[in-house]
């Protein structure tokens, strides 16, 4: 096992209940502080992969570890503090009467003292620019604001690894930029699943291409997105009119 890796995945195999394979032996190491995009066509196994990082799914073969700690039932409490997952739909994570209550929920469940919880909530809301909305109902916020609150619910637990599932989906351009600015400011390891290839290039220096349940490519994002043949072979397309800048641009 690679004890130095923030995220260590080796030989990961997983099949769905109907027997169809989702992951066929995935190997992936991410060092602390890296920002890595996970790209790939629909059905490639991207979401299945990230659900193994905090034990929502457990490997049928292979191993997963976070900072050297195996992802096993015995370690769930600490693993789920270390790995924060922000799901595609923020309403999956927001269910309390106020923004403050939602952001406090995770730290409170960890048994932290009230003063520590309050400090963690204040820090997380400040990071995402939502301090002024602390006493509002999350369901009265815009979609982009709710996504930032969902991010705050994870940041309040002070994770080592932040996992984002399609973070830019359904955001207007301003909300997309605001979220990018928050993510660029964070001093954590980031693993971002996205179909938004320009967002991957903006935020993640490294990308892995997952296709057919295996890693088909692992390269600097700029190099990967400049490989038109690779993208076409795995049903990935840059937006119309978008071109990958050269290193000198």
Ranges of each domain in the chain: 33-48+76-233
Contact between 191 and 26 under an 8 Å Cβ cutoff? The reply is no
Q: Tell which residue, 48, 152, 168, has the closest CA to residue 105.
A: 152
What pLDDT, on a 0 to 100 scale, did the predictor assign at position 249? 43
Please report the pLDDT score of residue 241 as a whole number. Answer: 78
As a whole number of angstroms, the distance between CA 221 and CA 198 comes to 10
Closest CA to 194 of 172, 170, 173, 216: 170
Quote the pLDDT of residue 247: 59
Q: What is the pLDDT of residue 248?
A: 45
> Coil, strand, or helix at residue 181?
helix
pLDDT at position 169, please? 92
Tokens of 205: 């220096």
pLDDT along the chain (249 residues), means of 10: 79 92 95 96 91 94 95 93 93 94 95 96 96 95 95 96 95 93 94 95 96 94 95 91 68
- The CATH H-level (homologous superfamily) assignment of domain 33-48+76-233 is P-loop containing nucleotide triphosphate hydrolases (3.40.50.300)
0.75 cut: is pTM over it? yes
């Amino acid at each position: 096992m690679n004890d130095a890796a923030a995220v260590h995945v080796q030989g990961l195999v997983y099949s769905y209940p109907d027997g169809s394979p989702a992951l066929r032996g995935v190997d992936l190491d991410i060092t602390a502080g890296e920002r890595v995009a996970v790209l790939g066509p629909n059905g490639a196994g991207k979401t299945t992969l990230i659900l193994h990082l905090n034990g929502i799914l457990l490997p049928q073969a292979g191993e997963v570890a976070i900072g050297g700690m195996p992802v096993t039932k015995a370690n769930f409490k600490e693993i789920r503090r270390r790995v924060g997952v922000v799901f595609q739909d923020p309403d999956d994570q927001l269910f309390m009467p106020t923004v403050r209550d939602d952001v406090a929920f995770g730290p409170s469940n960890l048994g932290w003292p009230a003063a520590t919880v309050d400090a963690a909530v204040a820090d997380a809301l400040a990071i995402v620019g939502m301090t002024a909305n602390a006493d509002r109902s999350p369901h009265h916020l815009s979609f982009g604001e709710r996504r930032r609150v969902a991010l705050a619910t994870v940041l309040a637990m002070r994770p080592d690894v932040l996992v984002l599932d399609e973070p830019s989906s359904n955001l207007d351009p301003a909300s997309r930029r605001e979220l990018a600015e928050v993510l660029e400011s964070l001093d954590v390891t980031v693993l971002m699943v996205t179909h938004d290839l320009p967002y991957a290039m903006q935020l993640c220096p490294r990308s892995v291409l997952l296709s057919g349940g295996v890693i088909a490519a692992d390269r600097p994002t700029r190099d990967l997105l400049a490989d038109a043949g690779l993208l076409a072979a795995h049903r990935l397309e840059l937006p119309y009119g978008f071109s990958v800048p050269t290193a000198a641009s």
